[in-house]
Amino acid sequence: MAITYLTEEGLKKLQEELNYLKTVQRPLISKQIAEARDKGDLSENAEYDAAKDAQGMLELKISKMEELLSSARIVDESKIDTSKVSILSKIRIRNLNNKQELTYTLVAENEADLKAGKISVTSPIGKGLLGKKKGETAEITVPSGKLTFEIISIER
């Protein structure tokens, strides 16, 4: 089982979402199944089939989240090495193709949120920047072609 590195905030958010799925969504779907079952013949009951499908999807999601939480490790932000890009590094980079400067924080895949400036370490850009030092460049292949970034700064 692969280890998943999370921030404390990311772990808390994941635990809250799992709790919501178990305490709110699970009983709601059970109620929908019971109501559909009460309507009679299950062989021609689309509501029952839809509720059972939703239940299956919910249980799969819960199972995956529980597995993720069981392998989760909290990253100690105070021990992040700022000499090179790593998970939880806050980096300022310059796109050498268009000279635009961008600031991102590299996070675990399930914490990624581009609008909040958080990119996944498993994304093409995240992977391409990992291990790089201030002043180095990274040439990264993305769906639209190749991008070249210069690392301007690395912070915690």
pLDDT tens column, 44-59: 778 888 889 999 999 9
What is the DSSP track for 55-111?
HHHHHHHHHHHHHHHHTEEE--GGG--TTS--TT-EEEEEETTT--EEEEEEE-GGG
Residue 24 and residue 47 in one domain: yes
- Residue that terminates a domain, selected from 49, 74, 99: 74
Q: According to the model, what pLDDT value does residue 68 have? A: 86
Q: Please give the residue that has the higher pLDDT: either 22 or 50.
A: 22
Residue 87 and residue 67 in one domain: no
Full residue range of the structural domain in which residue 123 is found: 77-155
pLDDT tens column, 73-130: 887 767 767 788 988 889 999 999 899 999 999 988 888 888 999 999 889 999 999 9
Query: SS3 for 145?
Result: strand
Residue 38 and residue 93 in one domain: no
Q: According to the model, what pLDDT value does residue 1 have? A: 58
What is the DSSP track for 2-68?
--EEE-HHHHHHHHHHHHHIIIIIHHHHHHHHHHHHTTS-GGG-HHHHHHHHHHHHHHHHHHHHHHH
- Residue that terminates a domain, selected from 19, 48, 74: 74
In CATH, what number is assigned to the domain containing residue 119? Answer: 3.10.50.30
Residue type, 65: M
pLDDT-derived band of residue 63, with 50, 70 and 90 as boundaries?
very high
Residue 94 and residue 130 in one domain: yes
